[in-house]
Structure 1
Amino acid sequence: MPTFNDPVADADELREAVRGLAHATRTIDDPTAIYAVLGSISSALASLSQSLHQLGEFHDGPTRKQAWMNGDAYAGRAASYRESWELHRAAEMIHQVAECVDRAHEIEATIAYDIRDYPSFAPVQRSTHQPGMSL
């Protein structure tokens, strides 16, 4: 369950959730679930991009002036700048990935599946025979 105020715990939960999704999508028993899964992935990618930008912004602000590396303020500021650059760059890459997933999500909305190809969707044949009744 997300905490909304503990970034370490929420990042750990994200890791486990994505690991679970990777496991769950090894096989798709219900192809109609793909639309919902892509929608959730799209939303998650948007939040991940935002999170990376926010982490980068942390290093853009006054923190950069307070960063030290082995007692060297210049090296600390340089490292903070490089980290900010990489985080913003990663956030933009994820934004581009999210746009691809969004397009796939839109395309998935146009696909219909023949339930006869998926045994789990086939109508169940029920007998009208009641236990204890003669045929």
Structure 2
Amino acid sequence: MPTFQDPVVDGEEACQALRALAHATRSFDQPEETYAVVGEVLGGLRSLGQVLSQLASAHTSESAIPHAEDGNLGAGIEEAYAAATALRRASALVAQAELAVDRASQHSGRIVWGPASPGALLPLAEAIAPRINADDSFVRTSPFSSSGFRWKSRRHSGMSL
């Protein structure tokens, strides 16, 4: 049960809940349930972004004086700011994941699930697959553009988690 006051206990519970969800989503008996789960994951990502931002702020708070393990104040401050920077970067990456999951939620919400013969799905999937850019789910090739044209996306290199 969440405490809403103890970040250590609530963090442990969130970790266990995500482990349980990872286990539970290995298969779906009723695929229509995926929409609700995607929505809950989206809500979790929004909260996770906020948590990461708040953790970053806590590392640079004026109320705490960080020291390195050897007692060095300068090294402690440097580590605190490095941790805060990494946490802010993680928060930004979670915001990108949030956008992707939001898009998935929109697509998932337009699905009406029903019985289908598995043999009928393969030709349909092969016809649809070329329309989706496998390199970047945010970029879609346009069926209305000239052949070979793809939307350009800017990728930034740098730190990854």
Structure 1 equivalent of residue 71 of structure 2: 71
Q: How many residues align?
A: 116
Q: 1:31 Cα shift?
A: 0.8
Structure 2 gaps of 5+ residues are 118-161
Once residues 23 and 59 of structure 2 are traced to their aligned partners in structure 1, the CA distance between those partners, rounded to angstroms, is: 35
Root-mean-square deviation (Å): 1.3
Higher-helix-fraction structure? 1
Structure 2 equivalent of residue 126 of structure 1: none
Q: 1:113 Cα shift?
A: 1.1
Q: Map of 1:47-126 to 2, 5 A cutoff?
A: 47-63=47-63, 66-69=65-68, 70-115=70-115
Deviation string 1:63-108 (CA, Å, 9 cap, x unpaired) is 56x1111111100100000000011110110111011000000000
* Consecutive aligned runs of 4 or more in structure 1 exceeding 6 Å deviation: none
Deviation string 1:40-83 (CA, Å, 9 cap, x unpaired) is 0000000011001001001222156x111111110010000000
Structure 2 equivalent of residue 3 of structure 1: 3
Q: Map of 1:24-63 to 2, 5 A cutoff?
A: 24-63=24-63
Once residues 92 and 46 of structure 2 are traced to their aligned partners in structure 1, the CA distance between those partners, rounded to angstroms, is: 10
Q: Report SS of the residue matched to 1:71.
A: coil
Q: 1:116 Cα shift?
A: 6.3
Instruction: For 1:84, give the aligned amino acid.
Output: A
> Could you state the TM-score of these two structures normalised by the residue count of structure 2?
0.69
Q: 1:25 Cα shift?
A: 0.7
